[in-house]
Amino acid sequence: MQVIDDLAGAKVHGPSLVTVGSYDGIHIGHQHLLRQMQAAADQLGYHTSLVTFYPQPKAVLAPHLPVRYLTTPAEKIALLSTLGLDLTAILPFTPEMAHTPAAEFAQELVTHLKLRQLWVGPDFALGRHREGNIPTLRQIGQRLGFEVCVVQPLIRDGEVVSSTRVRHLLTRGEIRQATTLLGRYPGLTGQVIKGAQRGRLLGFPTANLSLLAERAIPADGVYACFVWADGTRYPAVTNIGIRPSFAGAERTVEAYLLDFSGDLYGLDLKMEFVERLRPEIRFEKLDELVAQIRSDSRQAATLLAQEPPIQPPKR
């Protein structure tokens, strides 16, 4: 898959089916649209391209509102690379781009990606003031030589599958439900940095993860997780929160790998959240905290040992 940050750098040698959007999380709703687009491209013998943005348009258009990402650009690329796309463009979203007329942006897609079909959801719009809605894009397409293909959203439990819905589930610690909508475990990737090292003193050395401030993080609490380190997946217990037993104030994400011994500092880890075990609790005595960590570790080990592999969603 070709990855670019400027449409002018695209190397496309034939007609393309193109989709445009934030695509944060690459959840099963996104996969639903992408698989239909890929199937159509295979039938036509066309290429497939995805155009997305970083930062998200909302971060530029409404900077006073917080933005929480389900995936970093690198994670998004890794997920998209498994879906058969020929090209992914992650374009910088700037105030200048926000003022680009819809027809002008569509012309860029035609010029650089050889756009023949634009694949979008029913509420899609692009361009200055979101002027490029579906009817407008179809008019533009008649002039520029492309058609607009609208895919109805995927529904689960009576609601549309969306990135916003996944974020809401994470903020409530509802990991199993978020996993269903993502088609994989919710994850976090970051570098291990030195923390207060209290876990080591208690006999439970933890890996403290450095994360982007804008990252969507599950609710405070203790979680059963899988953690990938140097290509190996370990069962783990992860604490998210302010460590109230130590009068903490800064929110941290710390994982205790159950079957690991060694130095993790400086490594990039990937956490896969499986289930929330309990909320974060303040303990008055350290021996009570140690006993709870032991209990959490046993519960996580049992749960994770029984965890079946996640099946990819059907087309």
pLDDT in tens, 79-107: 999 999 999 999 999 999 999 999 999 99
Pick the CATH number of 2-159 from 3.40.640.10, 3.40.50.300, 3.30.470.20, 3.40.50.620: 3.40.50.620
The answer on pLDDT for 201 being more than 60 is: no
pLDDT of residue 192: 95
Q: What per-residue confidence (pLDDT) applies to 310?
A: 67
Q: What is the reported pTM?
A: 0.92
Mean pLDDT of the chain: 92
Q: Quickly state the pLDDT bin for 251 (edges 50, 70, 90).
A: confident
pLDDT classification of 198: cutoffs 50, 70, 90: low
Q: Where are the beta strands (DSSP E) in the chain?
A: 2-4, 16-20, 47-54, 87-92, 115-120, 147-150, 155-156, 159-160, 187-193, 207-210, 221-229, 232-241, 252-257, 268-278
Mean pLDDT of 4-23: 97
**Stretch(es) of the chain classified as CATH 2.40.30.30:** 186-305
51: which strand partners? 20, 89
- CATH code of 186-305, in short, is 2.40.30.30
What's the pLDDT score for residue 285? 82
Rounded average pLDDT over 276-293: 89
- State which H helix or E strand residue 34 sits in: helix 28-44
Average pLDDT of the residues in 244-266: 81
User: Which residue did the predictor score with more confidence, 286 or 86?
Assistant: 86
Across 56-91, b (16+ Cβ under 10 Å) vs e yields beebbeeeeeebbbbbbbebbbebbeebebbbbbbb
Assign 286 a pLDDT band (cuts: 50, 70, 90).
confident
Residues of the chain with CATH 3.40.50.620: 2-159
The answer, yes or no, to whether residue 45 has pLDDT greater than 60, is yes
Between 45-49, 69-73, 133-137, 212-216, the lowest mean confidence (pLDDT) is in 212-216
pLDDT of the residue at 213: 87
What string of DSSP letters covers 154-189? PEETTEE--HHHHHHHHHTT-HHHHHHHHTS--EEE
Share of the chain above pLDDT 90, in %: 83
- Determine the pLDDT at residue 217: 96
Amino acid letter for position 148: V
> Is residue 145 left, alpha or beta, with left meaning phi > 0 and alpha meaning psi from -120 to 50?
left
Long-range (24+ apart) CB contacts under 8 A made by 281-286 are 281/244, 281/245, 282/244, 282/245, 283/245, 284/245, 286/202, 286/245
Average confidence (pLDDT) over 149-159: 97
User: Above 50 in pLDDT, residue 32?
Assistant: yes
